[in-house]
Structure 1
Amino acid sequence: MIQCPAMNAQQRLLLDGTVSTLPSDIIENILWRLPTKEIVRTSILSKEWRYNWTKIPKVVFIERLFDKLTDENQLPLTGERRNTRRRCKFFNAIYQFLLVHQGPIVDFTFSTMPLVQYGHCVEIDQILLNLSRKNNVRKLCFSSLCELPSSIFSFHQLTHLYLSRCRINHLPTFNGFGSLTNLCLGYIEYIPKRTLMHILSNNRLLKSFTILLQLTSGNNIAVHDGEYGTFNELFQCLPVIQHLTLCVWDIQYFYTGAVPREVVTTLVHLKYLSLEEMCLYENDWFRFLLLILRSSPNLEKLKLGRISEEERWKYDFNDDIDSVTMQDGLDIWLEHLIELDFAYFDGKKPDLDFVKLILAKSPILKKVILRVYDEDESLKLLEALLPSSCASPTVEIFGYWEN
């Protein structure tokens, strides 16, 4: 926070002269690093800075950081009424800011606190609609417990879109953003499979795609809506993908039936793959791992995270896991893989066999990181892997205890 203590006339003159002579690129650099509220407060630094904040291209509005009502201690408001008053003040501040703002806005972050879960909010829709008319926002971060406003799809110049906590329903008229390269769906409460595929198929320039779905016991429908596609259809929607992160505990959210051994479409540009909350107590997950490794010939970094033991016992998974063998991955060759990072590694035979497979099929592998539950397990795992046949002569294996 910028604070301006009492100053005499000479000090004010010195500050005014010093601040005002800063190069414009330094001024812009300073403003980019400040919260929106503090950007506005820089208007008191000098008369030349009075309207600099109206041209800053990065804007952040986060409701939980917004000031509480100054009179809330004096007014006999209930918790719900207090939250409503705060939200009205929050929205009004955004309206006023956008009304006065003069320059282009290329980076906009908007986050609200829960009030009415997953309902349609007219105020949010109007804010985004007015912002979209500027037609110059490149990066949009939106987080709110509500139905995703349709005005989101009016930002045709977007290159980066980050959505979290909202519900996304089918939008058959959506024709894509045109320039979108980065899409993150973070802990989305609900999104039908047809909607997900529709969004992906209309944004075929994606270089980075992340989808994080919270682990549930069936209370939330999440992606699963009874309509399935194939891995070919999924991969075809991501023809130039370089960075892929999937956090979906049930692989059948993407496909039902037998996992194929290979697909027609390969992820030739994929360099970073992260699979989190994997249910490695299911054979389909091992088959999917092998499938995606066969389909990613230029993969450089692989990050894996299984569902934890704590979460595992909440769900009815099969225990008859088949071990991954060298024969299963005989046709896999990861000639560009540099690093494997495996979280919640339990050291059981399926996990060990999979790591041994990676060691044998990665000629330039530099680092293997195994994050285990038990501190004493680290040394045992290293001893178990030392006799393994390693294709890379320079690989290092690290064991970490995750408490």
Structure 2
Amino acid sequence: MSINIQEIRSQFPVLTREVNGKPLVYLDNGATSQKPKFVLDVLDEYYEKYNANVHRGIHTLSQEATDKMEEARRKVQQFINAKNDYEVIFTRGTTEGINLISNVLREVLTAEDEIIITEIEHHSNIVPWQILCQRTGAKLKYIPLTKEGVLDIDQLDNLLTDKTKLVCVNQVSNALGVVNPIETIIEKAHQKGAWVLIDAAQSAPHTKVDVQAMDCDFLVFSGHKMYGPTGIGVLYGKEDILNSLPPFHGGGEMIKDVSMEVSTYACLPFKFEAGTPDIAGIIGLGAAVDFINSIGIETIHNYEKELVDYTIQRLSEFEEVEIYAKDAEHSGAVSFNLKLDGVHSSDVGMILDKKGIAVRTGHHCAQPIMQHFNIPGTVRASFAVYNTKEEVDIFIEGLKTAIRMLG
């Protein structure tokens, strides 16, 4: 499937604006992507035409809103190839999905159990597990990084034991853009009877996610990184596992019956969706899935791979640039620094901003990675389907200016 980049770009109103008198070059998609007019119109349509609370309402607007919301659930189910639509739980984002699982596992874990994470994780896939282990006495272990900045996967066999209950890893690193060997991790973890949670926040916008093919037990991602609204995300879990776990929040919608003495809980997915959901956000997420499907996730993957490879090629022209995990497989992002004394990543980011170029600088909520490389942070350029090689060239020219000014 071919890609019409100009037609795609025309769907994103923000791309027509200027920043500091320069055309916007938005390379901060790892933090959040821009939204196409199609998604924005769907959000407006909900509030303008059928705004109502969902489920149990007998009036027309409530039924329409419920139908649209549950239609979005089915779109997400198909997008990640879940077996059942009720295995799709709506959350506020990746972070809440991870915290949901870490909180309900409090009732399951003991001091004899172990959890394995990795040194390449976002803080959201580190801190909840630290808190859980502090509360339960369970032991937290991690797969370290090699000096090249990829997971030392050879260490996994030593880390996995019969006490391992859960392994948590991101499919793609938010800080480095590195693709992790999740297939190997899932297979080895399952051999020990452990569950696996995959953080797909940085992979779902860029590559095909198939939860049945990868056989993960949980998977989480956010809508706002894949052209959808902020404040909405997804937790996928296998039906039998979700049914075995207690609820996260208590309140309306997640109950079957309530008395003053005891309550019983609703079936999936509502058991984990207490209270009024982000109805507009869920419908908007469904629209974002439609947008991605209209182009094709494989087409997006192949196009963005060209952009990332081209960016690494152009950055490699500079002896002043150090690219982290340069030889690893990348998806969606490239992270680098200038090898100049006293230069911080934020210095580069501020100069680029004056040229209308938006990148992310700092530790990217992944401080253990920065500690591994003994640096305070990096410059990260991250991509979406609306970016172009011409924008990469503008970014490179801006970087040349930064090198001249800071060198």
* Higher RCO (C-alpha 8 Å, min separation 6): 2
- What TM-score comes out, normalization by structure 1 length? 0.21
The structure carrying a bigger helix percent of its residues is 2
